[in-house]
Copies of this chain bind each other. A is one copy, B any other.
Amino acid sequence: MAPDEVPGKRGHTTGDFALSETQLANRNSGQPLEMLRHALTPVGLHYLLIHFDIPYVESAEAWRLDVSGLVERPLNLTIADLKALPQRTLRVTLECAGNGRAVSTPRWQSMPWEHGAVGTAEWTGTPLRYVLEKAGVSSKAVEIAFLGADRGFDSNVEHDYGRSLVPAQAMHEDVLLVWAMNGMPLAPQHGFPLRLVVPGWYGMASVKWLNRIEVLDCKFDGYQQVRTYIFRKDADDPGIPVTRMRVKSLMVPPGIPHWFGRARVVDAGPVTLTGRAWSGGGVGISKVEVGIDGQWQAATLDERAGPYAWTGWRTTWNATPGEHELMCRATDQDGNTQPLEQAWDYAGFGNNAVHRMAVTVRARS
C-alpha cells in the first residue's frame, strides 16, 4: 500500500477544513461557551472526545474489571464488587488536550476543536488505590496500564484505547474508578459502566469503558501513550508527555450571536462579563484579568468548589458603541499565566493562549 493510501493518514494543514476533520467535529462535541454560566456542566453538554466507536453495553451486570500482571492476587471484579468499596465524589474539570487546535496555524489534522472541549462534572467512584491494594502491586511494577473496550486504528495501528500511570500517580487517593456522573449512572458516551478519572490531568488519561488493568514491569507502549499526547516541536522530537492541564480561562460570549460566523452584538452600557478559569494538578487560580481593547482589569473570583473544579469569574465592562476586542487571562497559584499567543506544538496539544473575542457594541435604541 503506497503511503498516500494508508487509511487515516494525515498531516499539517492551514485554512479550510477537510471532510475528515468536519466528520470528527460532527461526532465529538464541545460545550457551547454560553454554558460556562453553569458551574456544573449540564448533562449532555460535557465535551466528548471519542477515538473509536462508543461500545454498546446492554447492562452493567456482565461487566468485569480484570486486574493482572505484577500483582499478588489477580482480580476479576464486578461493578457491584467496586461499589462495595469506599466511595468518593469529586467535582472535576476535564479539558481535552487538543482543545483550541482548530485555531492554530498550521494545524495538525485531527479533531478541530475551537474552544469548547472542557466541562465540569461530579464523578462518583472508588479510589483506584483500594483495588490496587486488594491486588497487591509488586514493588517491581514500573507502570500500570488502563485499557478500554473501544478498539480501532490510528495511523494504521490497531489497538484498544489505553493509557498508563506510574504507581505513585495511580495510588493517589483522588484517582477514581467511576460509575456515576452527576449522581446518575454513566451515560454510554462517558464510559458506561466504568471509567477512570484522573483529576488535574487532560482528559486522555481518564480511560473510558475500562475493563483491564495491567501492572507492568516496563513502560507501557500503547499507541495512545507513546505515539500521541506528547508535546513535540516536530516529528522527530521525543518530546514531553502531556499530563496536567495548563492554566486557562474562557469567557461567556456577551450579547447575541449571528447564526453563521458567530459574530457578537452587544448593547452599549454596563455588561457583566463572566467565565471560568482552571489549572491542572489541583492548583487553584489566583487571578483572572479581562482585557478590553488591550487594557487589563482584574476580575472578581468565585469560591472554588473543590481542588479540581474550575473557578468562576466576573467583571463589569462599560461597553461603548464600536468594535472591541475582549480577552481573558488566568494565573494559577503556582504563578503560571496564560500566554498571549499559542506556543507551537506539532499536534496542537495544550493550547492555553488567552481567549480573544471580537464584539460589536451598538447604541441602545
Interface residues of A (CB under 8 A from B): 7-10, 15-27, 29-30, 32, 34-35, 37-38, 42-46, 50-54, 56, 102, 109-110, 112-114, 116, 151-154, 156, 158, 187-190, 253, 256-263, 265, 360
Contact = CB atoms under 8 A, between A and B. Distances in A.
Given A7-B258, A7-B263, A26-B113, 9 more contacts: A7-B261, A17-B21, A17-B22, A26-B29, A34-B53, A42-B188, A109-B260, A152-B256, A152-B257
Most central of A30, A53, A152, A360 by chain B CB within 10 Å: A53
A156 B22 CA distance: 26
Contacts of A158: 256, 265
A259 B16 contact: no
B16 A53 contact: no
Nearest to A27: B32
B22 A114 contact: yes
13 contacts: A7-B360, A21-B22, A22-B112, A23-B262, A26-B29, A26-B30, A34-B54, A38-B56, A42-B187, A42-B188, A44-B44, A52-B259, A109-B260
A347 to B, nearest CB: 12
A228 to B, nearest CB: 9
Contact of A112 (B26, B52, B257): B26
Dominant secondary structure at the A interface: loop
A272 to B, nearest CB: 12
A26 B23 contact: no
A215 to B, nearest CB: 27
Contacts of A56: 34, 37-38
A162 to B, nearest CB: 14
A22 B22 contact: yes
A25 B258 CA distance: 15
Most central of A38, A56, A260, A263 by chain B CB within 10 Å: A260
A20 B154 CA distance: 27
Most central of A8, A15, A110 by chain B CB within 10 Å: A8
Most central of A54, A56, A190 by chain B CB within 10 Å: A54
A32 B54 contact: yes
A253 B8 contact: no
A89 B156 CA distance: 47
A263 B262 CA distance: 32
Given A17-B19, A19-B102, A45 B257 contact: no
The 7 lowest CB-CB distance pairs between A and B, nearest first, are A44-B44, A29-B29, A16-B16, A25-B25, A8-B258, A7-B263, A34-B53
Contacts of A21: 17, 22
Given A44-B45, A56-B37, A258 B26 contact: no
B153 A256 contact: yes
